[in-house]
Amino acid sequence: MTGTAAKASGLSDRLRRALYASAPYGWTLGGHPGGPLRATPIQPWSGDAQRGAQILKGSMIFGEEQRAIDPSLWSAGSEAWRAELHGFAWLADLHAVGSDAARRRARELVADWMARHARWDAFAWRPDILARRITSWIAEHDFFCASADD
């Protein structure tokens, strides 16, 4: 890329980030949900019950990194670790445990993420992470929303 093209690309990225972080853009996201899904995908990979049990004990391990489930969870760790966390594929690990405690923990963590990331964030809303998160939420919806009244 030439110097001029690189500068233009950098400017474009900065403008896009400013737009996505703005209040007017946020207002466009507050519409009415479209209604129930007509079908939900089947999770093609089963989770790891041992990893799910670790989540129930209060920590998450991705690769060689382990972090406690605490208020700093969503911003701690390496970029790769945070990408795994924000992608929510670990919901399958809680599903592999299959208990009501696992369902409640899944709901707690999804609700916490939603409360902390209601506005656009460059990392959490990165397209590859967003795609994994949506896929995981839809695929595991029936698991973590079962018995949601408790």
The answer on 24 and 59 residing in a single domain is no
pLDDT of residue 45: 78
**111: Cβ contacts below 8 Å, ≥ 6 apart:** none
Q: Using CA atoms, how far apart are residues 120 and 141, in angstroms rounded to an integer? A: 23
43 is a domain residue: no
Same domain, 10 and 52: no
Same-domain check for residues 64 and 20: no
Kindly state the helix (H) or strand (E) to which residue 132 belongs, with its residue range.
Answer: helix 127-145
Residue 115 lies in a domain: yes
Residue 16's domain spans which residues? 1-28
60: pLDDT strictly greater than 80: yes
> Residue 23 domain-assigned?
yes
Q: Whose structure tokens read 């409640």?
A: 104
pLDDT of residue 11 exceeding 60: no
Q: Are residues 76 and 10 in the same domain?
A: no
Phi, then psi, of 65 in degrees rounded to 5? -100, 135
What pLDDT score does 57 carry? 98
pLDDT digits (tens, 9 = 90+) for 92-139: 999 999 999 999 999 999 999 999 998 888 899 999 999 999 999 999
Q: Would 91 be classed as within a structural domain?
A: yes
> Is 48's pLDDT higher than 70?
yes
Question: What is the total count of domains within the chain?
Answer: 2
- Residue 30: pLDDT band by 50, 70, 90 thresholds? low
Residue 37 lies in a domain: no
Same domain? For 60 and 101 the reply is: yes
